[in-house]
Structure 1
């Protein structure tokens, strides 16, 4: 009787571990690439990439077309939600924000091209702006007053 109980408990434990492993594998998004797809004969320099088109909204996970010779594939991509749409495939080194322009209530800064992702067509310099903050910045020595 005791051995039957032990065997039943062991089988139950093995079944539970198998189910948990399958759940983790099903929901896992990262990891190694799918080996079932054949490797492309094209190099990265020969491949032309389209714009990343998000699945929902204007940022987040999406897809882009990768074209090489006569073959076009859809590949996964991601647009960070804090990047402007027109410069999403370009990386820039930005300077400090300018002082607030009281007429338009905006401040701006310019950036120079650091690198282009996926052979993107990038401007050498860009200028971005944003609304001015309504709160004055506190210096390091100031304490919160409650």
Structure 2
């Protein structure tokens, strides 16, 4: 009876270990950029990347074409929803927002190019604008007056 119990316990332990190993293998991602790199033998310098095209709307998860030699692959990409579509493959360092222009009710800031992703053609400087906030920001010491 003891040997049957021991064999059953060993089989249960082996089954548990096999299931855990299978779970780990399924969830292993293979590095930060494994999903976004094409699976061909081409280096990133040889690969030409197309624009990221979102699956729905104008931001979120999408696909881009990666072309190398005679192969074209679709790879996953993402356009942040708070980012400008025409400069999404370019990373800029932005200055502070300007004061609100009362005539247009907008404020703007400019940015200089930090790096271009996926061999994108980027402008060296860009200017972005957004509507002014209607709320007046209070400093830390101020309290509401009723």
- Displacement of 1:108: 1.1
Q: Within 1, Cα distance between the matches of 2:40 and 2:87?
A: 32
| Map of 1:60 onto structure 2 | 60
89-98 vs 16-25, greater mean Cα deviation: 16-25
Q: Tell me how far 1:15 sits from its aligned partner.
A: 1.6
Deviation at 1:74, TM superposition (A): 2.0
TM-score (norm 2): 0.76
Residue 70 (str. 1) matches residue 70 (str. 2): yes
- 1:45 is aligned to 2:37: no
Partners of 1:101 and 1:85 lie apart in 2 by 24
CA distance in 1, matches of 2:25, 2:6: 29
Say if 1:110 and 1:102 are closer, same or farther in 2 by CA, change over 3 A: same
Unaligned runs of 5+ in 2: none
State the match for 1:84 in structure 2. 84
Segments of 5+ residues of structure 1 without an aligned counterpart are none
Q: Which stretches of structure 1, 4 residues or longer, exceed 3 Å deviation after superposition? A: none
How far the C-alpha of 1:144 sits from its partner, in A, is 6.3
Residues in 2 aligned to 1:85 and 1:137: alpha-carbon distance in whole angstroms: 29
RMSD: 2.6
Q: How many aligned positions are there?
A: 139
Cα gap change, 1:11 to 1:124, in 2 (>3 Å) = same
